[in-house]
A and B are shown apart, each in its own frame.
Chain A
Amino acid sequence: MQSVRTTVLPSRLRRILLLAVAGLGGSAVALGTSEGAGGGLTPVAVVLATIAGFSALWSP
């Protein structure tokens, strides 16, 4: 039986790809919403506040 060889991306490359996918998602959301540029800042700030606050649990 032929073994299936899976390609494991180098960790660094995988992280770059993940960032690119996240970036595409962010651009798609921006293009899909009809809010003006200024109005879109508050939702971004709320998301950042939530993730930054929760992540602070890992503060030394």
Chain B
Amino acid sequence: MVGTILPVVHGGSSRKHLGPVVAHAVGAVSGGVVVGASLSLAGRWTQHSFWGAGLPSVGLPILGAMALLFAADEAGLLRVPHPQLHRQVSQRRRRHAPPTVTALRYGVELGAGLTTFVPVTTFYVLLTAVFFVGDPVVGAGVMAGFAGARAAPVAAIAIGSPDMATATRAGDSLLGWEPLVHLVNALVLAGASAYLLTSSASNP
């Protein structure tokens, strides 16, 4: 992802790329807010329509079991299907639009997270958690956090690099950490799973 985004958000000089970096961040947070609010609203409607306010008895066990399954997947202990769309902003649009507009589009798509690659299964558990939260404001805030965490490292690399070659090298140097990233996700999911299942059991 970094290899594709950096040329978009990095205008080639330290002054030029601030516009695209800001546009990317604004687009990302906007995309996250829309998805988070919509999903939580759908969750609220579903919970009120089908099982009342029974989050502890229904939502938490489902989410806990899901987190456990994906924790094992992230740890490489079993393989679970990863449904995802691999769509990206089209090359044609990328070529013809100004860098700021392209960076904004990238930001919206990546912040929403639904139409691009899903690198870690934590994302599926996150979407389900946002659904069960059932509060559009909280859902929007949580997904804005996701989008912000997704956009911030790209912005940091772009702003901190004097030229494109340095930015690309910084991006490439991250690749070796991928196995550790999956393990950290597995541990976070395992902790979250136990937390949710214990909460559910102790607050029936």
Interface residues of A (CB under 8 A from B): 12, 15-16, 18-20, 22-27, 29-31, 36-38, 40-42, 44-60
Interface SS of chain B? helix
Question: Which of B122, B154, B203 has a CB less than 8 Å from the CB of A55?
Answer: B122
Interface residues of B (CB under 8 A from A): 1-2, 55-56, 59-60, 63, 71-72, 75-77, 110, 113, 116-120, 122-123, 125-126, 129-130, 132-133, 138, 142-143, 145-150, 152-154, 174-175, 177-178, 181, 183-200, 202-203
Report which residue of A12, A19, A57 has the largest number of chain B beta carbons within 10 angstroms of its beta carbon.
Answer: A57
Are B123 and A52 in contact (CB-based, < 8 A)?
yes
Q: Please, which residues of chain B bring their CB within 8 A of the CB of A57?
A: 1-2, 150, 153-154, 174
Q: Which residue on B lies nearest to A54, using beta carbons?
A: B149
Question: Which of A18, A29, A53 has a CB less than 8 Å from the CB of B195?
Answer: A29
Q: Quote the shortest CB–CB distance from A26 to chain B (angstroms).
A: 3
